[in-house]
Copies of this chain bind each other. A is one copy, B any other.
Amino acid sequence: MTDRERWQELGQQLRADSVRAAAAAGSGHPTSSMSAADLMAVLLDKYFRYDFDQPENPTNDHLVFSKGHASPLVYSLFKAAGAITDEELLTFRRFGSRLEGHPTPALPWVDVATGSLGQGLPIAVGIALAGKELDRLPYHVWAVCGDSEMAEGSMWEAFEHAAHSKLDNLTAIIDVNRLGQRGETMHGWDLDSYIRRAEACDWHAIAIDGHDVDAIDAAYAEALGVGDRPTVIVARTLKGKGVSAVEDKNGLHGKALDDPEAAIAELGGERKLRIRVAVREPAEPHAFPGGTLELPQYELGDDVATRKAYGEALAALGSADGSVVALDGEVSNSTYSEIFAAAHPERFFEMFIAEQQMVAAAVGLQVRGWKPFASTFAAFFTRAYDFIRMAAVSRATMALSGSHAGVSIGEDGPSQMALEDLAMMRAVGGSTVLYPCDANQTAKLVAAMGGLEGISYLRTTRSATPVVYGPDEDFPVGGSRVLRESDDDEVTIVGAGITVVEALAAADALAGDGISARVVDCYSVKPIDAEGLRDAASATGAVVTAEDHWPEGGLGEAVLSALAELDEHPAVIHLAVAGMPASGKPAELLAAAGIDRRHIADAARRLVRARALP
């Protein structure tokens, strides 16, 4: 069999297997798989370098299906490579199968989950950055993109960054099958529209017929020969290629074929080609030196912004652990990641104002075992929420740090105030959410984040706040700290971050009224110290929570969840930002939001008095 014949046969096998998998499931996206089958056949047989027996091999290429709905094709490729059996292929989309509706790292050969369009290419940029800048290994990153997803701005963030970083180890393949879910895409088969945009972004761009295996072969060879820039192959294809009942027909997206038997017959029947995928020479990735951890230490009573402590602690962590890397969205002089950048310039990535690409790059870097810390204003992580959500599906490990939380930022106004970040980050599968109130606590939590699995989030404060803990104290994730306590406590005040400062002042005011208040610093918002909170609530019989955040989904509701199953549940007053804030001084805004020391003390008095009534 010639190469050409084998590629054509393999293409038909991948189509037939895609049809079969979807037929077994009764759902899925076979037609979106069939359009890219020839592109993948040539890639798998001739260009892809991958040891399917050792998916962790550092020199393995990376294949990211940005068009994740073409999962039948992904799994058919794995079958052709001998990684899964035909029997497993037919478990597609069944409960308990590793072959989910869209690919996830439940399979060891899948780096990241895709299925939310516009994410695979930005993540591939991150993997390619790791290859060039960190691992310094010759692996190549292949990203298979749909034409519909080119409408996502995140794809163009990826185009910008890949060119800016001269990622000649990245090839994007756009499967231009013309048809989206409900009709034609914006550009249909106008390949030139993609070519022009890509070239304007300084990519090398090649237009081909995506069913001509010789043209595909030539395009891959050309792409691998381009130095100094990434390449995009824009391939004209037919959705449902090879089966007349579905080929280039609208209205069949995401559906198993009505007559799979006829389709397989038209494709020439089942085949049993097995491809021995070439493996790249083994090599070790570059490593940066580590050392002992020497966290910054802050003097009790000094005023230090927790965002500043973040930057200093991260730089220290980077000195101790050579796998720590940092990214920032063009605000490193606000988040203080610039301190890390100055200390470890080779491990710092300026992502400009492209938060989606920043988080995607972090996901890509952690694919290769690097420990990314990505920072921007907390409010601007909302821009990347879909990427964070999907990172959890990817079982990614990364740390995010959001500065400028809440109304306490002051004059800049609500566009810059994160008031939903706790809700957003708590509602991420398996996440950790931390919110320190002082600099020493911040330093310890940053160090802890270096060892956490999954997605962790640190919320920091813009303004300088007093150091209330000594540098030798420990703050385990999932814990809380009692800052004021006596046997006579009649109420518990729970705060975190900036409201700890207010809670302490409120406790002072209450003491003046003869009311003894316990103050709990709930620095670990998720997981929360449910036992500690239950004990405090039961002991004092009334709880006030205060947070610089909307009332929904933040600290207060986390506390309520912790107390929910208690039989003897005390009344809880939940203070949070009550209305849309404007500009003003931090103290003015905390007061206007109803979360300052005065409001906390008033709420505590109300609870204590209510209980004193007959």
Contacts and interface: CB of A to CB of B under 8 A. Distances in A.
Interface stretch (A9-17, A268-276, A376-384): A376-384
Interface stretch (A126-134, A232-240, A437-445, A565-573): A565-573
Interface in A304-358: 330-334, 338, 350, 352-354, 356-357
Contacts of A380: 116, 386
A86 interface: no
A287 interface: no
Interface in A107-160: 113-118, 148-149, 151-157, 160
Nearest to A352: B151
A416 B102 contact: yes
A605 to B, nearest CB: 15
A180 B352 contact: yes
Interface stretch (A34-42, A77-85, A502-510, A585-593): A585-593
Contacts of A567: 571, 610
Contacts of A580: 392-393, 395, 429-430
A178 interface: no
Nearest to A584: B95
Contact of A197 (B201, B353, B414): B201
Contacts of A244: none
Given A386-B383, A552-B427, A411 B582 contact: no
Nearest to A567: B571
A414 B115 CA distance: 9
Contact of A180 (B330, B553, B579): B330
Contact of A420 (B333, B338, B428): B428
A408 B571 CA distance: 35
B181 A330 contact: yes
A534 interface: no
A464 interface: no
Interface centre among A149, A553, A554, A580 (most CB of B within 10 A): A553
A570 B571 contact: no
A599 interface: no
Contacts of A211: none
Contacts of A114: 415
Contacts of A210: none
Contact of A153 (B27, B100, B157): B157
Contact of A100 (B413, B557, B585, B610): B413
A557 B561 contact: yes
A101 interface: yes
Contacts of A416: 101-102, 115-116
Contacts of A186: 160, 164, 352
Interface centre among A330, A415, A564 (most CB of B within 10 A): A415
Contacts of A526: 552
Interface in A205-259: 251
Contact of A116 (B94, B379, B423): B379
Interface in A155-180: 155-157, 160, 164, 180
Given A181-B334, A357-B153, A416-B115, A573 B584 contact: no
A155 to B, nearest CB: 7
A611 B116 CA distance: 46
14 contacts: A93-B413, A99-B583, A100-B414, A116-B415, A118-B383, A153-B153, A153-B157, A160-B186, A164-B186, A385-B420, A427-B553, A553-B553, A560-B564, A569-B569
**What are the 3 tightest A-B residue pairs by CB atom distance, in nearest-first order?**
A153-B153, A115-B415, A553-B553
